[in-house]
A and B are shown apart, each in its own frame.
Chain A
Amino acid sequence: MPVLPDRVDRDAPDYGARRAALLELLAEHDRQLAIANAGGGEKYVERHRSRGKLLARERIELLLDPDSPFLELSPLAAWGTDYPVGASVVTGIGVVENTEVMVVANDPTVRGGAVNPYTARRQGRAAQIAAENRLPVVNLVESGGADLPTQSEIFIPGGRGFRDLTRKSAAAIPTISLVFGNSTAGGAYIPGMSDYVVMVEGRAKVFLGGPPLVKMATGEESDDEELGGAEMHARTSGLADYLARDEYDAIRLGRQIVRRLNRHKLGPPPAPSYAEPRYDIDDLLGVVPTDLREPFDPRDVLARILDGSEFDEFKPLYGASLVTGFGQLHGYPVGILANARGVLFAEESEKATQFIQLANQSDIPLIFCQNTTGYMVGKDYEQRGIIKAGAQMINAVSNSDVPHLTITMGASYGAGNYGMCGRAYDPRFLFTWPNAKSAVMGPAQLAGVLSIVARASAQARGKDYDEAGDAAMRELVETQIEAESKALFLTARLYDDGIIDPRDTRTVLGLALSVAHNQPVQGRRGYGVFRM
């Protein structure tokens, strides 16, 4: 089988410079992760521990099978917003009793685990991934409910979370809640809508209204334990199926429940054995430029993520700015679409359209490796129908039924983002490298366009154009667009499922493929493949 060559010159000056630049971006990413992992900060962490409680990430680590992998999703949600980085919740995919599950754990050290608009978005994305991939959901609940000052942004959309839970249940996707502490008011519906509920003795507190609210509503005197204690729910209301003696016991019971879910994957299993790539994935740091104007050959990436570095390239001589072909990743067959030189012309669009159809015919998942500045513009191209060609590709991507995984390796601009299965095209997962940028167009181009339009408008009105004002506007716009194109900005707004270290790409894709195979892998059928 064709094996990709090792063409990386580790002694080239470029290699070292790129590596250094990327490592700096990764260091910044790590600093932000550290902030998220610190939760509510030392004081609140200490207070939480002094109550004999485990931190959200400690609960997750105990829940998971020892030594199994865990992919945290959206770890930097809410970065750069008014809300704490991480959005007071941890979501991710892990393995419990050899079953892939979605874990959603409130971080009670961050404002009592209160749900803010970004918490809702992070949880919502996790719920969507669980539904699309048939993943059982384990909620590790301890939250004071909605962040009241921002209730207007949460109350109405937030109700969807409860609907999501029961819709999942209806789809035979099990939902489990382990209640470690507060889960009151609306939060009470999280255990309320779950298939299985475990509550920790003396800790769980699940009620619609607490003692003060009850007193105000009906005049009745009551205490926390009577209204929503774990014992009460286990013995009297029946809301709790299991009464756990402590947090460890709750996690043990959670694992016990998952063990008996009798989950089977509906997709085909991976190859039982396969070769690792021949070349060190560490090289990627020296391959990938942080200056997005410099193109790079995606085959150097594929050589470091595909099993045995083997890649059967499809239509290599046609539409060479997009690389397409078949390979295998952690034992799963995959089809690859990777931008080679940024621009998509009609040939690349047609090639992509045909390739996506072929993958659907063979039930092969697709991986989109984005590094595109968009579809070609200009008289010649418009007249030759670049819109139609791009539309074919977007049509094929939109209606493809095999799992799609997207990695934003660099640029992701314009309609190229759509054609290469950007966020709006609902890939099962979308991960971003820290050097990546995405926007409708580049900052300079965008500012330039605005400038030309303004100049034309001034001219039409017969006014003098304010050149100084124009320069200031361009700079302002460029700065704003540049900031809003950055990976951190995008990941904060849940436009991806997380920034990943390029060196983790193979592992992340392997896990994502395994997760996607919880569903049947079945391509779109209908017409025969249109030869492009």
Chain B
Amino acid sequence: MRSLLVANRGEIARRVFRTAREMGIATVAVFSDADADLPFVRDADAAVRLPGNDPGDTYLRGDLIVGAARRAGADAVHPGYGFLSENAEFAQQVLDAGLTWVGPPPAAIASMGSKLEAKRMMRAAGVPTLPWSEDDSGAADVGYPLLVKASAGGGGRGMRIVRSPDDLAVALESARREAAGAFGDATVFLERYVDAARHVEVQVMADNHGNVVSLFERECSIQRRHQKIVEEAPSTAVDPSLRARMGEAAVAAARAVGYVGAGTVEFVLTADGSYWFLEMNTRLQVEHPVTEAITGLDLVRLQLTVAQRQPLPPEALTPTMTGHAIEVRLYAEDAEHGFLPSTGLLREFDVPTGDATGLRLDSGVETGSVVSRHYDPMLAKVIAHAPTRAEAAARLASALRRSSLQGVTTNRDLLTRILGEPEFLAGSTDTAYLDRHDVAAMAGSLLDPVGRRAHAVAAAMAVQAAHRREATVVAGLPSGWRNNPSQPQEVQLVDGSTTVSVDYRFDRSGRLDVSVDGEPVDAELHPGATGTVTLSIDGVRRSYGIGITGSIVDVSSALGTSSYQLLDRLPDPAATVTAGSLVAPMPGAVVRVLVEVGDLVVAQQPLVVLEAMKMEHTVASPAAGSVVELNVAAGQQVDAGMVLAVVAAEDTDGEAPAAR
């Protein structure tokens, strides 16, 4: 192998390039238009453009990717995860082109790719499986609760939990629609759903010389909408004997399909130690770093070794595990508000792994990257490895807390809170973990009221300093100087749905007199470099990192992160949004428009359905009234903040609807 093309993007592309470089193998990236400026493109020795943005035009185009490998002189293809990684046809295409395929044989992919076929084979191999049915009529036999699953699916898409027969029809329909859209295959099946179980998976590695080994388990129980967000190894619920049994089952599963390379056998594990086969992922997993951390192995190196038909090295054949590793997935999403994806310019992306041992950052982005709406919103993975689980959790939480992530909303605060939450720390994790907890509360800002006040003061001081810096006349005079002071300077900052007002004045000797929302704050401003504000508040001195982008002010400190919108003191009335306007919560495409202008609507009635990040979002009327304006049509692309429709609220006394 001389040159390796990674048929993927973002962090996994960078991850594979890293090991390839170490092994002296040249690297080739492929990229869509939206990704042209991402770090993975620059990381590679060569990069080939895939015109367009839609995955169907780019990262799912096997023909273009094989063509790219040829043009760039690559002799091997690594598929990463997602996209074409579990596509047997693509694997065959790569092989047919005379290239090395870094993955299992196409036949193994195909067997495991059909979840139904996989389940049949596993039952035959003696691996425990859950009851399932391939058609709707089998629902009663499967029993409730059950899961409607896309046969060709993965990543939680096309999946629905059904708790009673009444809900089955609706769930089937929407799961089929989603599956057809996402995988081009509407086939779904029913499987018994095990509530409050753990998701435990076993990493296997197989070579062409008959070796199949288990590299121990990972637990990935903490999930939102079937998407893993916290993963760890080992599992707190697995003791050595269970580990051995599950490992054997996983090895048996791999052998049953003639597996070669890295793969993951997923199980559902209940409190009594029972486990059942869920599916096998025939690729490198997102969460592979926790296994690497505890075993000290480089899984990508093993993949490349096996792909070159070499036997697994001794350290992989008799693996050992040390300590505990936890990984979190940083997503660009608003966990506080239903995990809505968030897109835009990453004004700052700084996760301080620094020289701290036991911290690893696998990131697809950097400061200045644009998070587009076209792909998975995962920004990065942060992994901590420590002698104990408690220390790993603390180390990871600390790194997250000190991170500065500005520009898009992230799940950082949720992840940080999970890592310090008593149930998590006690190891009591299962797939219902986030259902049991108040996600909105856990995802709320880490800032306490004192921190919020401090950040508001820091933001106001930064804005003030910027004003003085940008002044071209009398710039050297004291900030806000008055010979006859009559009122303080005022800065209004919008923080989500609340507005914070900071009033301040400097006296003759430069001392700061400041209040937040009318409440005086004991604060002293110290001189500092551009980009930071140093304040002593109540005698405690801290530095606040500041980013100002247009009217957005980002503040990060050891207390947490804030992002403020600076309120225009003198807004142009023409630019103000009419009351009753419904704005797009995120960029996306309009799927359906459910009303017409003039329609009378009730509160919470869906008006427009948007699709973004492959999920549907309904925009509903905030109140009863009539639709007076409708600005979009099905199929239209919209940007966040665009006014979709205007509803004039109905008068409470029942008179004719009037605009409010």
Binding site for B on A (CB under 8 A): 33, 36-37, 57-58, 61-62, 65-72, 75, 95, 98-100, 245-246, 248-249, 251-252, 255, 265, 270, 274, 280-282, 330-331, 498, 500-501, 503-504, 507-508, 510-511, 514
Q: Is B497 located at the chain interface by the 8 A CB criterion?
A: no
Contact A62 B473 (CB under 8 A): no
Cβ contact of B481, chosen from A99, A280, A507, cutoff 8 A: A507
For residue B310, CB closer than 8 A to chain A, the reply is no
Supposing A98-B472, A252-B570, A252-B572 touch, asked if A66 and B467 sit within 8 A by C-beta, the answer is yes
| A330 / chain B contacts, CB cutoff of 8 Å | 474, 476-477
Q: Mark B120-148, 1 if CB is under 8 A from A, else 0.
A: 00000000000000000000000000000
Residues of chain B in range 452-478 having any CB-CB distance to chain A below 8 Å: 463-464, 467-468, 471-474, 476-478
Q: When the two chains form their complex, are residues A69 and B478 in contact, meaning their CB atoms are under 8 A apart?
A: yes
Question: In the complex, which residues of chain A have a beta carbon less than 8 angstroms from the beta carbon of B318?
Answer: none
Query: Do B483 and A98 have beta carbons less than 8 Å apart?
Result: no
**Residue B357 interfacial (CB < 8 Å):** no
The answer on a CB contact under 8 Å between A67 and B480 is yes
Residues of A within 8 A of B569 (CB): 62, 66, 248
What CA separation (Å) do A282 and B486 show in the bound complex?
A: 22
Chain B contributes a number of interface residues (CB within 8 A of A) equal to: 28
Chain A residues lying within 8 Å of B71, measured Cβ to Cβ, are none
B652 proximal to A (CB < 8 A): no
A-B contact pairs, 19 of them (CB 8 A): A33-B484, A37-B484, A61-B486, A65-B467, A65-B471, A66-B463, A66-B480, A67-B467, A67-B468, A67-B479, A69-B477, A70-B483, A72-B484, A98-B472, A280-B509, A281-B508, A331-B476, A501-B508, A507-B477
Q: How far is the CB of A134 from chain B (nearest CB, A)?
A: 13
B533 CB → nearest A CB, Å: 14
What is the CA–CA distance of A68 and B486 in the complex, to the nearest angstrom?
14
A507 to B471, CA, bound (A): 16
C-alpha spacing A330/B478, complex, angstroms: 11
Q: Which of B464, B476, B483, B572 contacts A508 (CB 8 A)?
A: B483
* CB proximity to A under 8 Å, residues B534-572: 569-572
Contact indicator A57/B570 (Cβ below 8 Å): no
Which chain A residues border B476 with CB–CB below 8 Å?
A: 270, 274, 330-331, 510
A282/B508 contact (C-beta < 8 A), A68-B471, A245-B573 known:
yes
- Chain A residues with CB below 8 A from B480, complex form: 66-69
- The residues of A that contact B489 with a CB separation of less than 8 Å are 66-67
Q: How close is A24's CB to chain B, nearest CB, in angstroms?
A: 17
- Whether the pair B487, A255 counts as a contact (CB closer than 8 A) is no
A57 and B487 contact, CB distance less than 8 A: yes
Residue of B nearest to A517 (CB): B473
Question: Chain A: which residue is nearest B478 at the CB level?
Answer: A507
Tell me, in angstroms, the Cα distance from A62 to B487 when the chains sit together: 11
Residues on B with C-beta less than 8 A from A246 are 573
Asked if B437 is at the interface (CB within 8 A of a chain A CB), the reply is: no
| Complex A-B, nearest 10 residue pairs according to Cβ-Cβ distance, in ascending order | A252-B570, A69-B481, A67-B467, A57-B486, A72-B484, A69-B477, A245-B573, A98-B472, A67-B480, A75-B484
- Interfacial chain B residues near A100, Cβ < 8 Å: 473-474
CB–CB B481/A251 < 8 A: no
Residue in chain B with minimal CB distance to A515? B474
Q: Which residues of the partner chain B approach A70 to less than 8 Å between Cβ atoms?
A: 481-483
How distant is the Cα of A72 from the Cα of B573 in the complex, in angstroms? 30
Question: What is the chain B residue whose CB lies nearest that of A248?
Answer: B570
List chain A residues, Cβ under 8 A from B487.
Answer: 57-58, 61
Decide yes or no: A69 and B482 within 8 Å by CB, A62-B570, A282-B508, A504-B508 being known contacts. Answer: yes
Closest chain B CB from A74 CB (angstroms): 10
Contact B484 A95 (CB under 8 A): no
Q: Which residues from chain B contact A270 at a C-beta distance below 8 Å?
A: 476
A57-B486, A252-B572, A504-B483 known; A69+B467 contact, CB < 8 A:
no
User: What separation, in Å, do the CA atoms of A10 and B525 have in the docked complex?
Assistant: 26
Inter-subunit contact B570/A68 (CB<8 Å): no
Contacts A67-B489, A510-B477; A72 near B483 (Cβ below 8 A): yes
* Closest chain A residue to B566, Cβ basis: A66
Known contacts A251-B570, A252-B570; A95/B474 CB under 8 A: yes
Asked if B484 and A255 sit within 8 Å, CB to CB, the answer is: no
Establish whether residues B509 and A67, one from each chain, have CB atoms under 8 Å apart when the complex forms.
no
Instruction: Select one of A33, A37, A514 contacting B473, CB under 8 A.
Output: A514
- Chain A residues whose CB sits within 8 angstroms of the CB of B478 once the complex forms: 69, 507
User: Which chain A residues lie closer than 8 Å to B477 at the CB level?
Assistant: 69, 330, 507, 510-511
Q: Which of B54-85 contact A (CB under 8 A)?
A: none
Closest Cβ of chain B to A146, distance in Å, is: 26
How far does the alpha carbon of A500 sit from the alpha carbon of B481 in the complex, in Å? 13
Closest A residue to B480 using CB positions = A67
* A contact residues around B571 at 8 Å (CB): 248, 252
Chain B neighbourhood of A511, CB < 8 A? 474, 477
- Kindly state the separation between the CA atoms of A134 and B376 in the bound complex, as whole angstroms: 59
CB of A95 within 8 A of CB of B483, answer no
Instruction: List chain A residues, Cβ under 8 A from B484.
Output: 33, 36-37, 72, 75
Q: How far is the CA of A501 from the CA of B482 in the complex (A)?
A: 11
Please judge, given known A-B contacts A66-B467, A255-B570, whether A37 and B474 are in contact too, CB under 8 Å.
no
Chain B residue at smallest Cβ distance from A67: B467
Residues 478-503 of B, flagged 1 when their CB comes within 8 A of A and 0 if not, give: 11111110110101000000000000
Assuming the contacts A69-B480, A498-B483, A503-B508, asked whether A98 and B471 have C-beta atoms less than 8 A apart, the reply is yes
Contacts of A255 in B (CB 8 A): 570
B359 to chain A, nearest CB (A): 40
Nearest neighbor of B472 in chain A, beta-carbon distance: A98
> What is the minimal beta-carbon distance from B487 to any residue of chain A, in angstroms?
6
Which residues B565-586 have CB closer than 8 A to chain A? 569-573
Q: Which of B179-212 contact A (CB under 8 A)?
A: none
Contacts of A71 in B (CB 8 A): 483
CB distance from A131 to the nearest CB of B (A): 19
* Bound-complex Cα distance A331 to B484 (A): 24
Interchain CA distance A62-B480 in the complex, whole Å? 12
- In the docked arrangement, what's the CA distance between A51 and B483, Å? 29
Instruction: Evaluate contact between B570 and A249: CB separation under 8 angstroms.
Output: yes
Check if A510 sits within 8 Å of B570, measured CB to CB: no
Query: Across the two chains, which residue of chain B brings its CB closest to A253?
Result: B570
Q: Which residue of B lies closest to A37 (CB)?
A: B486
Given A249-B573, A274-B476, the answer on whether A95 and B471 have CB atoms closer than 8 Å is: yes
B residues near A58, Cβ cutoff 8 Å: 487
Is B483 in contact with A75, judged by CB distance below 8 angstroms? yes
Considering the complex, give the chain B residue whose CB is closest to the CB of A245: B573
Residue among A69, A251, A281, A514 having the largest count of chain B Cβ atoms under 10 Å: A69
Nearest CB of B to A268, in Å: 14
B473 proximity list for chain A (CB < 8 A): 95, 98-100, 265, 514
User: What distance in Å separates the Cβ of B499 from its nearest Cβ neighbour in chain A?
Assistant: 16
A61 contacts across to B, CB distance below 8 A: 486-487
Contact A69 B508 (CB under 8 A): no
Taking CB as reference atom, which chain A residue is nearest B465?
A: A67
By a CB distance below 8 angstroms, the chain A residues around B509 are 280, 282
Give the residue name and chain of the B residue nearest to A510 (CB): B477
Q: Complex Cα distance A270/B569, Å? A: 31
What 14 additional pairs, Cβ within 8 angstroms, besides A66-B491, A274-B476?
A58-B487, A66-B480, A66-B569, A68-B467, A72-B482, A75-B483, A98-B473, A249-B573, A280-B509, A281-B508, A498-B483, A500-B483, A508-B483, A514-B473
